[in-house]
Amino acid sequence: MATLVSTTDLVKEFPLHGSLFDVFSARRKRVHAVDRVSFSIAEGEVLGLAGESGSGKSTTGRLLLRLIEPTSGAVEYRGRNVTSFSARELERLREKVQIVFQDPNSSLSPRMSVGQAITHPLQIHGIGTTVERKERVLDLMEKVGLSPAEFLYRKYPHQLSGGQSQRVVLARALVTQPDFLVADEPIAMADVSVRALILQLMRQLKRDMGLTYLFITHDLATAKYLCDRIAVMYLGRIVELASRDTLFSRPHHPYTKALLAAVPVPDPKARRDKNLPKGEIPSAINPPSGCHFHPRCPYAVARCREARPPLREIAPGQFSACILD
């Protein structure tokens, strides 16, 4: 399959606001949110981006759409460097590349009806006549399970259930017929009963509409259901990247193993790895030297503190940023 989206050495640092002296100082403190991240996503693929909060997953997602500007590095869409797109090209890109955020309530305007909210991107991009837009919106509403569409079209966000709100957000993202969707923790705020339905819907929409996803999650169990490959992030870096099956059956990086050990299993007697990482994720303002994971890693040795371990291919299609064999 051809590559649809890729990143090369993507970096995002957020300068911290301090005194006037700090603003002009070369030593101004920065949050190292994304640190030389490279990956590619093939057409029709679902790549999971997993890790604890503060790992840089959501920032990476926003960089792909250029909702924020990278400090350095490249993002390519269909082989073209998005970071050098003009305003006009960026507008066209946003028709084809969309994002769904985790909190549907804060993504929907309380003053816009369901119909208005889903129609809005069509108006922005000048797609279709009034009649064609309504037809497309009603059709899509039925596809995402907002049924009966004619009835829900006039409802407002406060009149919807959590599951319906998330479906509206999905429909709004899909109405311009994008080919790539960044789904940023799309079920994190949903009730347990709704989560499975939204995931099923995303899988079905991917099949029916030929979509490609970057699926951002802190929950590996969810990633297992939807993703073809999974990249695990820790403090702004990808520490492991592998197919879903390999990651779950033969994880290599100690952080991946720790995350997997935290995934709930239905059997209460099942043996669990007790080597969970010690302590909290360190600050991204002053990340640990060498391997960022060394203060929490049960296998750390002196050289782990010295140099950044490269993300190397340790088995066909499996990459790990760890010095262990």
Decide if residue 315 touches ligand SF4 (CB under 6 A): no
Q: Which residues contact 231 (CB under 8 A, 6 or more apart)?
A: 39, 47, 48, 49, 50, 238, 240, 241
Dist. CA 33–CA 300, nearest whole Å: 23
The side-by-side arrangement of strands in the sheet containing 72-77 is 30-42, 3-15, 72-77, 80-81
Determine which residue in the list 46, 50, 231, 291 makes contact with ligand SF4, applying CB under 6 A.
291
* Contact window for ligand SF4 (CB under 6 A) among 23-31, 152-160, 260-268, 317-325: 317-325
Decide if residue 273 touches ligand SF4 (CB under 6 A): no
CB-nearer residue toward ligand SF4: 118 or 259: 259
Q: Least Å distance between CB 124 and ligand SF4?
A: 45
Look up residue 15 and give its two tokens: 């300068």
* Contact window for ligand SF4 (CB under 6 A) among 1-9, 148-156, 207-215, 316-324: 316-324
Decide if residue 241 touches ligand SF4 (CB under 6 A): no
What single string gives the DSSP state of each residue in 143-195?
A: HTT--SHHHHTT--GGGS-HHHHHHHHHHHHHTT--SEEEEESTTTTS-HHHH
Dist. CA 172–CA 141, nearest whole Å: 9
Residues 243-272 that bind ligand SF4 (CB under 6 A): 253-254
Decide if residue 314 touches ligand SF4 (CB under 6 A): no
Q: Least Å distance between CB 277 and ligand SF4?
A: 10
Decide if residue 299 touches ligand SF4 (CB under 6 A): yes
Question: Please, what's the largest Cα pairwise distance for the chain?
Answer: 67
Q: Tell how far CA 314 is from the center of its chain.
A: 25
Decide if residue 230 touches ligand SF4 (CB under 6 A): no
Q: Least Å distance between CB 59 and ligand SF4?
A: 22
Decide if residue 322 touches ligand SF4 (CB under 6 A): yes
Report helix, strand or coil for 73. strand
CB-nearer residue toward ligand SF4: 112 or 314: 314
Q: Which residues of the chain form contacts with ligand SF4 (CB under 6 A)?
A: 253-254, 291, 293-294, 297, 299-300, 304, 309, 322-324
